[in-house]
Amino acid sequence: MGTRDGRAELWRRCQNVVDRLDLPDPFDAEGFIAALARKRGRPIELIGVPARPDRPCGLLVTTARTDLIIYSSDTSTVHRQHILLHEAAHLVCEHDAAGPGPGGGGVGTLLPHLSASLIRSVLGRTVYTEPQEREAELIATMIHHRVARGRTSPPRPVPPRPRADTVIETIFGRGEV
């Protein structure tokens, strides 16, 4: 499969995920995440931390009992919403179900008061593969797009477009044109 085919497949897969999402109306990321927590039967805690140039903007950490979305709290509303949706997309795609990641990722950078050994022993998955990151980023962007179009409910199927001869028959009747 070529790069172009891979991108098209990623786009289709992500669009299918977003089309199935129940988005609150009016939309807000926190409400969406609260509904996602109820659906998953696990709490999702949102933890805002001050942004710093040496830190990632957001991070999802899964523990035995809860999911933590750590995000830059001192950024624009739109950027904060995108960070929250990106991290929530990891949950929607069940990227967290793959088991513990390799030892703490960016958690130590975001929460420097925690020791590296505590991060490794207590916290679950914190590192994702590049394809998982692309998938989460695209899903967050598609949610933004769907909300911006004013449609929080999934799109309705579009009836097939009539063929040209059907349109001509409708306009001119069944005789020859």
Q: Which two tokens stand for residue 30?
A: 């926190």
Q: Please list, in sequence order, all residues whose beta carbon lies within 8 angstroms of the beta carbon of residue 48, skipping any fewer than 6 positions away.
A: 70, 71, 72, 73
Domain count, the chain: 1
Residue 153 is given by DSSP the state: S
Rounded to whole angstroms, the Cα distance separating 155 from 60 reads 29
Any domain includes 177: no
Any domain includes 150: yes
Stretch among 9-23, 67-81, 85-99, 160-174 having the lowest mean pLDDT: 160-174
**Do residues 83 and 71 lie in contact, with contact meaning Cβ atoms separated by under 8 Å?**
yes
Write down the pLDDT at residue 27.
Answer: 93
Write down the pLDDT at residue 124.
Answer: 43
Any domain includes 62: yes
Q: Kindly report the CA angle at 77 between 17 and 15, in degrees rounded to 5?
A: 15
Any domain includes 35: yes
Residue ranges with strand state E in the chain: 44-49, 58-62, 67-72
pTM equals: 0.69
Any domain includes 27: yes
**Per-residue model confidence as pLDDT tens digits over 60-69:** 888 888 889 9
**Per-residue model confidence as pLDDT tens digits over 84-139:** 999 999 999 887 654 444 334 455 455 566 655 555 444 444 456 688 889 999 99
**Per-residue model confidence as pLDDT tens digits over 21-59:** 999 989 999 999 999 999 999 999 999 999 888 778 888
Give the 3-state secondary structure of residue 61.
Answer: strand
* Domain span including residue 88: 3-172
Q: Which two tokens stand for residue 126?
A: 């914190």
- What is the amino acid identity at position 130? E
Any domain includes 96: yes
**Do residues 40 and 169 lie in contact, with contact meaning Cβ atoms separated by under 8 Å?**
no
